[in-house]
Structure 1
């Protein structure tokens, strides 16, 4: 899980730096008042770089833990889970590792969002209980082999959460 976080941080940092480079190249000469080629306002580029550095730092350390999430976090987490609904895999094949890992990650992300939601975890009692049961079943082992062994439980929790959320549209619209 830690390796995935590091990869995610690296990808986000690279994307942020790439976007910053594009922004700088697009804005080069935009404030050019002298008519010279290639001149630009260096104070603006340094502030853009500082902003990009701040974004990379925040990405590397994660969001401010004191910040309370908005209701859109449950909505976004549920959308990620729904994106797995039409996918499937064949046990013991290469496609199961990614698929089951993604379903597990989306379920756990939704659990965290529900627990952090301003309405409180008591607003989502059934999904949180189902996810707790899944955690017990998996016993902390998120290896492909264990996820494949408990594939039915994992997919079942995903599907029950989907049905529950469909009956509570105010939580995801």
Structure 2
């Protein structure tokens, strides 16, 4: 049996990434996005992007329809990414830039998942509306100074959505 080239390429990327993730875990708690641990959440690095991409490539390669269009992300997975930002904040300029960018990215990810959910976007009207309002408020400038200027709205939207989702546990469990 011949393995398709995209699957082989994903495996070549995923294996080193999986080893990197496994080696970055410590006994301080469960692994977290960015290579940190629950106990070291404030010291997360900016490596979440490549690790996340490698993990997604691994999942896609392992799926039965590898090479086809991936199915939309589940709301519960996107919400878990957003919740992972709850214990983080702005402690230094570099960490704050990462944190605010991550919150924005996680909100966008959740928005895409809610709109693609089989229940339909009408099942999540408030969170989708709040994210759209935030997107309008921030505008196209996603630079650190822009996100920092809108930090209250960004974190407030995250917190409102977290509260809303806690009242709808069937949507994320």
Q: TM-score range by the shorter chain?
A: 0.5 to 0.7
Runs of 4+ residues over 6 Å off in structure 1: none
Q: Which has the larger radius of gyration?
A: 1
TM-score (norm 2): 0.62
* Paired residues of 1:69 and 1:118 also in contact (CA < 8 A): no
**Structure 2, unaligned runs of 5 or more:** 1-8, 19-56
Residue 146 of structure 1 corresponds to 146
TM-score (norm 1): 0.62
How far apart are 1:168 and its partner, in Å?
Answer: 0.2
- For residues 98 and 77 of structure 1, what CA distance do their matches in structure 2 show? 18
How far apart are 1:69 and its partner, in Å?
Answer: 3.2
**Structure 1, unaligned runs of 5 or more:** 1-9, 20-54
Residue 75 of structure 1 corresponds to 76
2:123 matched to 1:88? no
Cα gap change, 1:116 to 1:17, in 2 (>3 Å): same
Cα gap change, 1:142 to 1:11, in 2 (>3 Å): farther
Cα gap change, 1:148 to 1:13, in 2 (>3 Å): farther
- For residues 11 and 142 of structure 1, what CA distance do their matches in structure 2 show? 30
Q: How many residues align?
A: 123
Residue 112 of structure 1 corresponds to 112
Residue 32 of structure 1 corresponds to none
1:2-13 alignment, distance < 5 Å: none
Cα gap change, 1:145 to 1:169, in 2 (>3 Å): same
1:112-131 alignment, distance < 5 Å: 112-131=112-131
- For residues 75 and 93 of structure 1, what CA distance do their matches in structure 2 show? 30
When you count helix as a share of all residues, which structure comes out higher? 1
Cα gap change, 1:126 to 1:18, in 2 (>3 Å): closer
Cα gap change, 1:150 to 1:170, in 2 (>3 Å): same
Residue 156 of structure 2 corresponds to 156
Partner SS state of residue 69, structure 1? coil
- For residues 76 and 102 of structure 1, what CA distance do their matches in structure 2 show? 15
CA RMSD in angstroms, aligned pairs only: 3.0
Residue 14 of structure 1 corresponds to 13
- For residues 165 and 159 of structure 1, what CA distance do their matches in structure 2 show? 10
- The higher-RCO structure (CA 8 Å, 6+ apart) is 1
